[in-house]
Amino acid sequence: MQILFASSHTHDPDVWINPLRKALPYLEFVQWDENGDSINAELAIVWNPPTQIFEREKNLRAVFNLGAGVDAILQRPGLTDNVAIYRLEDAGMAVQMAEYATWALLRASRNFDAYQQQQQQKNWERLPDIQRDAWPVGVLGLGVMGGRVAQTLAGFDYPVAGWSRSAKQLDGVETWAGDEQFAGFLARTRVLINTLPLTSETHSILCRKTFEQLLPGACIINMGRGEHLVEQDLLAMLDEGHIQQATLDVFAQEPLPADHPFWAHPGVTVTPHMSAASLRDVTIRQTAEKVRAFIAGEPVSGLVERNRGY
Ligand code: OXD
């Protein structure tokens, strides 16, 4: 049986294909050829797949995503309900997201950015000690990733709340759910951390209306998708002073264009979509196991629910 490999994860697909081939020796791996014809593949392993994938490969039964977010797959034309989509579960990403969020938060709450500037001026001066109550954290999304972020920061004794679509319980974290509790969640939050999947409901959720409801001196940390953020609203509210800083890892256009205002804005920190890499060994092991189970007719975890969008 052939399996299509179509990933923009890497310039060297062999670093993925070779170990996958080793783990699934009974499959013939065929790499996507931009100018090629259909190979009548029933299975595909993808990351950010080519636009034409579903229009060309009409026999696909299952697609295994080499990442957690499946928004790119769901946007591809020609995708039918016959195709089961499986997303990567935590492949080392949750702990990396927790690290990223911790780094972004501590820079503000422990004055590390300010100390870095003081060093430039050879200025030995202790800034006021931390008041943890002044840094209520709110995490959007309480799945595997968001839950880990929330519990990590709660472990540092920050007041942490999390908001999710449906009600969740999480030790040490105050939980809020659904549209009706969104305003209450925002009103107690100063540091807003986004880990949501991109769906039609969450598109543009980081907008002026949301930001206005946060506590003053707000910090925004976006590890979801660029399309969650209304960029002009963020820039305006940074300039107005309601938002103190934004740490952004994801952008509507990646790579971020050289002339984009985020690069030079003093209140914005840009990182190149690196907050949570799917670690190769774990990803390969997890994906190979999903493919094996699917072929064997066994239950496969990580099935995307189309109506939810993740
Ligand atoms: C993912 C990502 O969705 O890396 O896994 O963005």
Q: What is the pLDDT at residue 9?
A: 67
My answer on whether 139 and 261 are in the same domain is yes
Ligand 1 nearest-atom number relative to CA 69: 3
Looking at residue 27, its amino acid is L
In this predicted model, which residue has the larger pLDDT, 125 or 13? Answer: 125
Same domain for 80 and 99, yes or no, is no
Instruction: Look at residue 10 in the predicted model and tell me its pLDDT.
Output: 67
Same domain, 23 and 166: no
Name the strands in the sheet holding 43-47, side by side, starting at the edge strand that comes first in the sequence: 28-31, 2-7, 43-47, 62-65, 84-86
**Could you tell me if residue 177 is inside a domain?**
yes
Are residues 98 and 44 part of one domain?
no
Q: Which two tokens stand for residue 294?
A: 């699917």
| Ligand 1 touching residue 69 (CB < 6 A) | yes
Counting Cα atoms < 13 Å in the Cβ hemisphere of 106 gives 12
Residue-range definition of the domain harbouring residue 123 = 93-270
Query: Any idea what the CATH number is for the domain that residue 28 is in?
Result: 3.40.50.720
pLDDT tens digits, 2-20: 999 998 766 788 999 999 9
- Residues classed as catalytic: 225, 273
Among 241, 180, 177, CA closest to 211: 241
**Per-residue pLDDT tens for 96-115?**
999 999 999 999 999 999 99
Structural domain count, the chain: 2
Residues 151, 189 within the same domain = yes
Which ranges of the chain does DSSP label H, i.e. alpha helix?
A: 14-23, 53-56, 71-74, 93-109, 112-120, 144-155, 182-187, 208-212, 231-240, 280-296
Same domain, yes or no, for 148 and 170? yes
**Residue found by looking up tokens 């660029």 in the block:** 226
My answer on whether 115 and 100 are in the same domain is yes
CB of 49 shorter than 6 A to ligand 1? no
Residues 188-211 have a mean pLDDT of: 98
Closest-lying ligand 1 atom to the alpha carbon of residue 66: 5
Q: Same domain for 131 and 209?
A: yes
Distance 88 CA to ligand 1 centre (A): 9
The answer to whether residues 143 and 241 belong to one domain is yes
Same domain flag for 115 and 53 = no
pTM of the model: 0.93
